[in-house]
Structure 1
Amino acid sequence: MKTFTSEERNLMYLYNSGTRLELIDNLTDMRSYLQADETELLTLTDCVLEKLRQMNDQEFSALDLYPDFMD
């Protein structure tokens, strides 16, 4: 299973709507609004998208995508 950095996980917390494919769609949509000078967020988003595309739905379901303050 892919490991995600804390920054990657935070991005996924914000855009996760339940499924891996929905998260990919949400991040892809968000990415289209970024400006060329937002290089850090572009890079972060691309990295998360690549990892999500390489995993399957079962691996995604095993991720805990709820921040600690939600407990």
Structure 2
Amino acid sequence: MLRLMRLMLYNTGTRQGLVRELRLMQCYLMPDETALRELSEQVIEKLKRLTDAEFAGLEFPMN
């Protein structure tokens, strides 16, 4: 659920844009926010394995 929320929060509409926004967000994390950093890295790694077409086919529920 947290991963989905992260995707929805930082989604720019493109896979590459989302990765860029997640990387930018990581710059603002405090050193003790290791769980959030690890979660973000997991999401980024999964996004890297997707094609742009696969990403475009994802649905992000808003409820």
- TM-score bin, normalised by smaller chain: over 0.9
Unpaired runs of 5+ residues, structure 2, are none
The Cα shift of 1:65 comes to: 2.1
RMSD between aligned alpha carbons? 0.9
Structure 2 letter corresponding to 1:7 = L
Which whole-Å CA distance do the structure 2 matches of 1:52 and 1:16 have between them? 11
Match of 2:22 in 1: 27
Structure 1-normalised TM-score? 0.83
Which whole-Å CA distance do the structure 1 matches of 2:27 and 2:13 have between them? 21
The Cα shift of 1:35 comes to: 1.2
Which whole-Å CA distance do the structure 2 matches of 1:66 and 1:22 have between them? 19
Instruction: Give 3-state SS (helix, strand or coil) of 2:47's partner.
Output: helix
Q: What percentage of residue pairs aligned between the two structures are identical? A: 38
The Cα shift of 1:67 comes to: 1.9
Which whole-Å CA distance do the structure 2 matches of 1:66 and 1:27 have between them? 19
Structure 1 letter corresponding to 2:31 = A
Pairs aligned (count):
63
Q: Which has the higher relative contact order, 1 or 2, with Cα contacts under 8 A spaced 6 or more apart? A: 1
Structure 2-normalised TM-score? 0.92
Trace 1:45-56 onto structure 2 (pairs within 5 A): 45-56=40-51
